[in-house]
């Protein structure tokens, strides 16, 4: 039997992220058209890849109904112009959908079943709010298998504040403000734009083009954040300013074995080192990335001190802060989300995992002194997902 193949992250792109709802820029855009647009952009950026060499397409969505249903990986592959010989499938691990698309197809590459795969995710939260149309088994709550709070992500975040008094609202607000500031600085420096695929828009006022993320609020201040409502409980600590907004968007990545990438003249932006998922009590799902990161580090034979760049999904500020506190990392550590995160950019559930990877890959290009990076996120219903990557540009010397 062949040895395990090295898996490389060749490239990744995404649509600009839009505000969910009737006032959002994608209100009149289908979810499947968002992922198809991203896939076409990815294929156009990698013209040396023969389309018939794609072995599988995995596309995630959390709410797989309507224009997010019908086995997205297959339908999107056909709509994006891949040959009918290329198969595809859909994945659901709530917020970690795209991350799971990547790790699942990567497992196929490592095993030797695939040479090249496309993995991504899409979420149109305006059309399909999380849990829309779902019918949770009543035994979950009746038999106290999970807390009644477990299906309300905002309440799970409030529970983290309850459990860890050091995770104050002021810290969460400051983290949220800094996310907005860092994204604005990254945009000003041209860091985000190269990996965005423009999307044509149609609205009552005519046609347009989405070229930037819609939810940015660079003017955010601590004073403004202090006055925001706490929608999940009276006198709570979770607000719209320290949590990710409801968002529409799509992400997609190209993965390959190291040998196939070399054969086909494809770039290698990152090398997969290890990944892990873990379960926690659903009512405190935000701590999920802590055990999944510990598992991934152990599998890689690394410690947290070996990680030189962190891309952590900011579903809620308190969730990121809980991981930082656990590992003894400062709130303002420059290794953590240097270009901001989901509080500013948005979190279109099943697509966010690949956004983290896209940003980490760009940072690797600029940081030959960083060898390992981590992408990690909490997952609804009490899970965490973590992926460790190696920088192919690593020299040990600062740029």
Concatenating the DSSP letter of every residue in 13-67 gives EEPPPEE-STTSTTTTS-HHHHHHHHHHHHHHH-TTS-GGG--EEEEE-SS-SGG
378 is catalytic: yes
pTM of the entire predicted model: 0.97
Pick the catalytic residue from 124, 161, 347, 393. 347
pLDDT of residue 399: 67
393 is catalytic: no
% residues pLDDT > 70 (the chain): 99
For the stretch 190-208, pLDDT in tens is 999 999 999 999 887 889 9
CA distances 274 to 70, 158, 301, Å, are 31, 31, 10
pLDDT along the chain (399 residues), means of 10: 86 98 95 98 98 98 94 98 98 97 98 98 94 85 80 90 96 98 98 97 88 96 96 94 97 98 98 98 95 98 98 98 98 98 98 98 97 97 97 88
- Ramachandran bin of 347, using left for φ above 0, alpha for ψ from -120 to 50, beta for the remaining angles: beta
Per-domain boundaries in the chain: 7-126+245-389
pLDDT of residue 307: 98
Pick the catalytic residue from 95, 124, 128, 161. 95
Spell out the residues 6+ positions from residue 395 whose beta carbon is closer than 8 angstroms to its own.
368, 369
pLDDT of residue 44: 98
pLDDT of residue 398: 78
Q: Which helix (H) or strand (E) holds 317?
A: helix 317-327
pLDDT of residue 206: 83
Beta-carbon neighbour count of residue 216 at 10 Å? 17
pLDDT of residue 1: 53
104/164 Cα distance (integer angstroms): 34
Pick the catalytic residue from 124, 128, 161, 378. 378
Burial 139-162 (b: 16+ CB within 10 A, else e): ebeeeeebbebbbbbbbbbbbbbe
Task: State both tokens at 357.
Answer: 């990877």
pLDDT of residue 2: 59
pLDDT of residue 370: 98
Task: State both tokens at 257.
Answer: 């074995």
Q: Which CATH architecture has domain 7-126+245-389?
A: 3-Layer(aba) Sandwich (3.40)
CA-based torsion, 109, 110, 112, 113: positive or negative: negative
């Amino acid at each position: 039997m062949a040895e395990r193949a090295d898996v490389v992250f060749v490239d990744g792109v995404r649509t600009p992220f839009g505000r969910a709802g009737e006032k959002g820029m994608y209100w009149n855009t289908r979810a499947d058209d968002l992922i198809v647009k991203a896939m076409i952009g990815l294929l156009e950026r990698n013209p040396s890849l023969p389309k018939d060499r794609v072995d599988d397409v995995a596309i995630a969505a959390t709410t797989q109904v309507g224009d997010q249903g019908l086995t997205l990986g297959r339908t999107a592959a056909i709509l994006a112009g891949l040959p009918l010989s290329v198969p595809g499938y859909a994945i659901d691990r709530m917020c970690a959908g795209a991350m799971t698309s990547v790790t699942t197809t990567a497992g196929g590459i490592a095993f030797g079943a695939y040479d090249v795969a496309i993995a991504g995710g899409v979420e149109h939260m305006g059309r399909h709010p999380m849990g829309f149309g779902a019918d949770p088994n009543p035994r979950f709550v009746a038999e106290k298998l999970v807390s009644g709070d477990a299906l309300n992500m905002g309440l799970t975040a409030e529970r983290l504040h309850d459990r860890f008094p050091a995770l104050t609202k002021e810290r969460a607000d400051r983290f949220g403000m800094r996310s907005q500031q860092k994204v604005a600085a990254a945009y000003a420096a041209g860091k985000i734009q190269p990996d965005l695929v423009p999307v044509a828009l149609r609205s009552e006022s005519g046609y347009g083009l989405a070229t930037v993320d819609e939810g940015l609020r660079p003017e955010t201040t601590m004073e403004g954040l202090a006055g925001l409502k706490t929608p999940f409980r009276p006198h709570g600590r979770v607000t719209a300013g320290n949590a990710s907004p409801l968002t529409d968007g799509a992400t997609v990545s190209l993965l390959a074995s190291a040998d196939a990438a070399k054969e086909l003249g494809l770039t290698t932006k990152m090398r997969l080192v290890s990944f892990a998922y873990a379960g926690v009590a659903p009512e405190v799902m935000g701590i999920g990335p802590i055990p999944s990161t510990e598992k991934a580090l152990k599998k890689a034979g690394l410690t947290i001190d070996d990680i030189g760049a962190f891309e952590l999904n900011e579903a809620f500020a308190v969730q990121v802060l809980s991981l930082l506190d656990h590992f003894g990392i400062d709130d303002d550590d420059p290794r953590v989300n240097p270009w901001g995160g989901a509080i500013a950019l948005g979190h279109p559930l099943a697509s966010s995992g690949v956004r983290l990877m896209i940003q980490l890959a760009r940072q690797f290009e600029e940081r030959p002194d960083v060898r390992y990076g981590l992408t990690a996120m909490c997952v609804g219903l009490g899970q965490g997902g973590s992926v460790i990557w190696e920088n192919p540009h690593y020299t040990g010397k600062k740029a």
